[in-house]
Amino acid sequence: MPFSCLPASLYPEISRGERTLADWFNLAADLDLDGADISVAHLDSLDDAYLDELRQQAHDAGVVIAGMVTYTDFTHPDPAERRRHRHELRQYIDAAARLEVDFLRVTAGQNHPGVALADGIAWAADGLSAWVDEASAAGVTLAYENHAIGYVWSYFDFSQKASVFLDICARTAHSGLKLLFDTANLIAVNDDPLAVLDQVLPRVAALHVSDIRRVGAFEPVLIGSGVTPLHQIFERFRSAGFDGWVSVEEASKTGDDGFRRAIDFTRELWLN
């Protein structure tokens, strides 16, 4: 089973230039990970030369870039902005292919004030489905996440609630769009992750392992210290023969030791 990590705790440091992506790749290797996930927010360029250098840095460290997260905003009320995000996603697919990324995280979009539920669902389903075939042809899996809030966003995800997420899942089922299942985000809005997982598990291509402090609030904590039913979630994945990436989303802001503790806990729980 391949393990990777999304270094959410390091995002501010990487954004400020205090750590580089090469630093992150080296830390991921020190943590005995197979892969190191990255955010498009930290790409300096989409030029081939830059992407080739980034891929080589990961290779030199001894990891692959397993996943890359985008912040597609297909629920924006401005049609021009929705078109921009669709075009941008096509560029990110090409970048992911150049980086030899396995899965590219996509999102429905932000819960912009004034957007009607029916409109947002239709816009999200349309945008999320647009480039699935092109991504597959490039060797990249598009994975739609039951998401909370993006690093570069002002609002929470339009489809954070299970009912909306499942509606969009149903409307995109024909497209071949895969899913990235996050273990904790549904609990933050008082929804049951096990009930949702039972409905979507066959479409899940990758797993984000996260934890939150309490039901009904988005307060990330060190994985294993919160209320997320990780044992039951993992058991469902193991029983289904899941063999995709298990990505630890480390967002506890407890330093490098927090990464090690979260990854060790996740690996041990998964294997036992």
d(CA 177, CA 24): 29
Contact 147, 159 (CB under 8 A): yes
Q: Which strands make up the sheet holding 178-182, listed edge to edge?
A: 3-6, 245-249, 204-209, 178-182, 141-145, 103-106, 67-69, 38-39
The residue ranges of DSSP E strands in the chain, in sequence order, are: 3-6, 38-39, 67-69, 103-106, 141-145, 178-182, 204-209, 245-249
CB 164 within 8 A of CB 200: no
219 by DSSP, 3-state: which? coil
What is the 8-class DSSP label of residue 204?
E
Count of the separate structural domains present in the chain: 1
The CATH number of the domain holding residue 118 is: 3.20.20.150
Residue 76 and residue 127 in contact, taking contact as beta carbons nearer than 8 Å: no
pLDDT at position 1 = 84
> In a structure prediction context, what are the per-residue pLDDT tens digits for the chain, which is 272 residues long?
899 999 999 999 999 999 999 999 999 999 999 999 999 999 999 999 999 999 999 999 999 999 999 999 999 999 999 999 999 999 999 999 999 999 999 999 999 999 999 999 999 999 999 999 999 999 999 999 999 999 999 999 999 999 999 999 999 999 999 999 999 999 999 999 999 999 999 999 999 999 999 999 999 999 999 999 999 999 999 999 999 999 999 999 999 999 999 999 999 999 98
Prediction pTM value:
0.97
State how far the Cα of 249 lies from the Cα of 222, in Å rounded to an integer: 10
134-144 pLDDT, tens digit each: 999 999 999 99
Q: Report the percentage of the chain scoring pLDDT > 90.
A: 99
pLDDT digits (tens, 9 = 90+) for 155-184: 999 999 999 999 999 999 999 999 999 999
Contacts of 223 (CB under 8 A, 6+ apart): 209, 210, 211, 230, 248, 250, 252, 261, 262, 265, 266
Residue 254's domain spans which residues?
3-271
